[in-house]
Structure 1
Amino acid sequence: MTRRLSLLDLLTVAVFVVQTGFALHIGLNGPTQAVLPIHWNAAFEVDGWASGPEFAVLLGGLATIGLLAGGGLGLGALYAAAEAPSRARTLRIGQGIIAFTTAVLGLTLSAQTLGDLPPEGTARLSMAGLSLILLGAGAFLGRVAPNRLVGVRTPWSYKSRLAWDRSNRLAGRLLFILGLAGLFVAPWAPQPAATLSLIAAALIAAGLSTFESWRVWRADPNRQPF
């Protein structure tokens, strides 16, 4: 029996269709520049270039990865086979995060490549895009059940449900706060220091969440041994 497509399935397909359609437009109809910026260094100065068709392939490839990871060959297919409600919910959250991240990355990259921006403008766009991704992931991370795909996946969180729940709730809160703060300061904060600081803060949040999984596992009387 063919499974019925969910709203998230349709959203995943919609992101793919819009992004690949735009990529085809770029590849066939422009832009007029011989080369386009596609990569930036830590100071957000251009250090990588591509032709219009090459950029179209890059953008279409990003959309295809998002479709495969979140759609029929990825989390969407796993969701259809999931029996436990908690696993099904976790897979749906993962699918939503992938679709959202693919859309944000595609929009950010397109604006940076086609916008003819100075380094400061490129950095602000990068900070806004990263902040949106952190905000979206953080909003749902605390609701995922133990799995191998989404969340704070450490040896300790797999051996203690309490460690899993607390470390993922901490990660969700930290990422949500960072994303919200990043969106607020992106328009006026000094660049590239602000964007680099946001990246460093996200890495610190990951480290704190990893430590939290170990700390809670060690204190959990119901933990599983290694």
Structure 2
Amino acid sequence: MKPYVQTGLAWSAGATLVACGISLVASSQLPDSTQIPIHWGADGSPDKFADREGATFMLWMMPAISAFIATCMAIAATVDPRQANLSASRKAYLICWIGAMIVLTGIHAGIAFMMTRTGAPSSGSPEMIRWIIAACGALFILIGNYLPKTRSTFMMGIRTPWTLSSDMTWEKTHRLAGRLFMLAGALGIIGAFVFNGIWLALQLSVLAIGATLISVIYSWFVWRTATDREEGSGYIV
């Protein structure tokens, strides 16, 4: 097993243990009620409820999700056909992996807090949602910083037919994508404390989709003039 995969699994194990601890503590503090919130709308108001048993089940879902994502990341690093390139991109891969674990643990802590605060004045506050969105924006900035340093792989980055068939196209596309994702993250952090309602929930997703689409379209234009693009094997079937 590659050292960076071991590092990712170690961080994941730590994050999963913390999430289990949060679930254990929160489960013991859940009120005896059939109206425990388990989902919140864009304005921070609870819009889905469950009894104590259902809420406990939801609390233990996040550690399971974290473990599943960690497993997928480890497997992906093993099966990628371009192992040398993925190893060269290991810092970016680890940032995505570890960052996702930290953000998921933070989200879990926020959800557990709001579930145990049923009936309290702050239980419907959107402030927790704002901080979760801001944390995701910070992760976008970190990812954007490392995207230009990646090499062509099948498991991360802007993977289009054009970037995967031309190293020049990959490099130029990810230089632009890195800047766009950093901008999206910065704007997302600002938007987390400016927007309300549905735009509070959607603004970061819109920014991320926009950055991705621009990068995909740009990759095609770069590929058209790339000097190292593949023209085919020449086989006749």
Tell me, yes or no, whether TM beats 0.5. Answer: yes
TM-score, normalising length: structure 1: 0.80
Q: Which residue of 1 aligns with 2:71?
A: 68
Which letter maps to 1:56? L
Corresponding residue SS for 1:146 = coil
Structure with bigger RCO (C-alpha 8 Å, 6+ apart): 2
**Partner residue of 1:190?**
195
Percent identity between matched residues is 20
Q: Which has the larger radius of gyration?
A: 2
Distance 1:38 1:143, change over 3 A: farther
TM-score normalised to structure 2 length: 0.77
Is 1:17 matched with 2:17? Answer: yes
Q: State how far apart, in whole Å, the 2-side matches of 1:191 and 1:40 are.
A: 14
Deviates more, 1:142-151 or 1:128-137: 128-137
Structure 2, gaps ≥5 residues long: 115-121, 233-237
Farther-moved stretch of structure 1 (206-215 vs 88-97): 88-97
Check whether the contact 2:158–2:216 (CA below 8 A) recurs between aligned residues: yes
Q: Matches of 1:144 and 1:40 in 2, distance apart?
A: 37
Match of 1:48 in 2: 48
Any stretches of 5+ residues in structure 1 without a counterpart? none
Deviations for 1:91-115, whole angstroms, at most 9, x for unmatched residues? 4532331221122123124314523
Alignment correspondent of 1:102: 101
* 8 Å CA contact retained: 2:16, 2:66: yes
Q: How many residues align?
A: 219
**SS at 1:142 equivalent:** helix
SS in 1 for 2:228: coil
**Alignment RMSD (CA, Å):** 2.9
1:152 maps to which residue? 158
CA apart distance, 1:19: 1.5
Write out per-residue CA displacement over residues 182-224 of structure 1, whole angstroms, 9 at most, x where no aligned residue.
224433x031324423321211111000001111011213211
**SS of residue matched to 1:48:** strand
